[in-house]
A = this chain, B = another copy of it.
């Protein structure tokens, strides 16, 4: 490598522009920290004329990212185009095949092709770094890959999607319905026009697949994750959670169980006094339970041009300092496959909200059906209409918190309660994560 690490950047959106500005601004301190200069010598984007607020005059311009990836004039290829398909996939592959290190912020690409790309990086003895792919500026990849190199990890879980946490925060604080809150988030730019990817949990699942691989030495595999979004959550759930000492968050959870690694994304009740429950708005957070470290929580901005660029730059600096770490912490040959954990076997506590018919014997019927499945109750609250709102004709909300049981038992009990015709509508069920 020359005295300067020559960087090619493909993708000049907000992150790319922020990265180029930051590298220029911090030139001296980066050189001091890395022992060599870092210079962006070439860039690639579709529209050349566009004003991006940064000076691109000294950089060579490419329109084909694969050509940039292969170019002899760069030592490191930075992929900021996004998406699991081409040109992101083909250009990252081309760079690695050409023996160049790669830094990417592309969670979708890693969730789909992570193992294959890591094997290629390994074969060519180059780096494949992706700190920005999960949790924005939070150094969670480095922490799992290097900081906890010698720890047996029991569980990693986090708030990995700012849009969902923003919506849940506003729903809780302002007691507004999901649909209204989503509309407002879209108007303010916190949610996409098509919000499905975020609110149905798929974004969280891609990030979780990466964290789970780093934590447990398993192959990145989004299809092994159970996924459930937040669209069914109501302000009534959030209020009830609050009163019971919990808060509802969309969590990605990967946990070691006697039956293997369980990976799941779903709305989750967490203890209100835990660090992760305090995380509001678009902020992200990850908690790790490891041997002797119980727990470690990292909280920070999960998105935004500057925050993401900062993580990308730390990855570039590692390459400049000559650090080459196995992308997922271990040789890819050591990564093991996992199957999707069957959720009916999930064990834990549950929050259940029912609209019970307001007639004698209803509570007894519900209690009996739960007891038949060996489900013990931590609490039961029958909520009455308040603030002058009329109760739904003839129905009373009943909220149950169970002790640890299985998903299967809960489903059976609720099916039986349904057949008894003592409730109206679908029961709401939210898993409780012990923390």
Residues of chain A whose beta carbon lies under 8 Å from any beta carbon of chain B: 18, 22-23, 25-26, 29-30, 32-35, 131, 137-139, 142-143, 146-152, 217, 273, 275, 278-279, 290-301, 304-307, 309-311, 313-314, 316-318, 321, 323, 325-326, 329-331, 334
Contact = CB atoms under 8 A, between A and B. Distances in A.
Given A139-B147, A149-B317, A299 B296 contact: yes
Interface centre among A279, A297, A314 (most CB of B within 10 A): A297
A30 B329 CA distance: 10
Given A278-B278, A290-B310, A32 B331 contact: yes
Nearest to A309: B292
A310 B298 contact: no
The secondary structure that dominates the A interface is: mixed
B293 A301 contact: yes
Interface centre among A139, A217, A316 (most CB of B within 10 A): A139
A274 to B, nearest CB: 9
Nearest to A141: B147
Contacts of A313: 149-151
B139 A317 contact: no
A25 B150 CA distance: 9
A305 B291 CA distance: 11
Contact of A26 (B30, B151, B310): B151
B298 A297 contact: yes
A149 B293 contact: no
Nearest to A311: B147
10 contacts: A22-B151, A26-B150, A34-B149, A150-B310, A150-B317, A151-B310, A275-B275, A293-B310, A297-B300, A298-B298
Nearest to A287: B299
A344 to B, nearest CB: 31
A291 B306 CA distance: 8
A29 B323 CA distance: 19
Given A32-B334, A33-B329, A304-B292, A152 B26 contact: yes
A379 B29 CA distance: 43
A147 B29 contact: no
Contact of A18 (B147, B273, B292): B292
Contacts of A275: 275, 278-279, 299
Interface centre among A25, A325, A329 (most CB of B within 10 A): A325
A202 B95 CA distance: 51
A317 B32 contact: no
A278 B272 CA distance: 11
A317 B296 CA distance: 19
Contact of A314 (B146, B309, B321): B146
A314 B145 CA distance: 10
A26 B148 CA distance: 11
Report the 5 A-B pairs with minimum CB-CB distance, sorted nearest first: A292-B306, A139-B147, A149-B317, A150-B313, A296-B300
Given A278-B278, A298-B297, A313-B149, A307 B326 contact: no
Nearest to A274: B278
B314 A148 contact: yes
Given A292-B307, A293-B300, 4 more contacts: A22-B151, A22-B291, A149-B313, A292-B306
Contacts of A331: 32
Contacts of A334: 32
A299 B299 contact: yes
A215 to B, nearest CB: 11
Interface centre among A278, A310, A323 (most CB of B within 10 A): A310
A26 B310 CA distance: 32
A188 B146 CA distance: 34
A220 B3 CA distance: 29
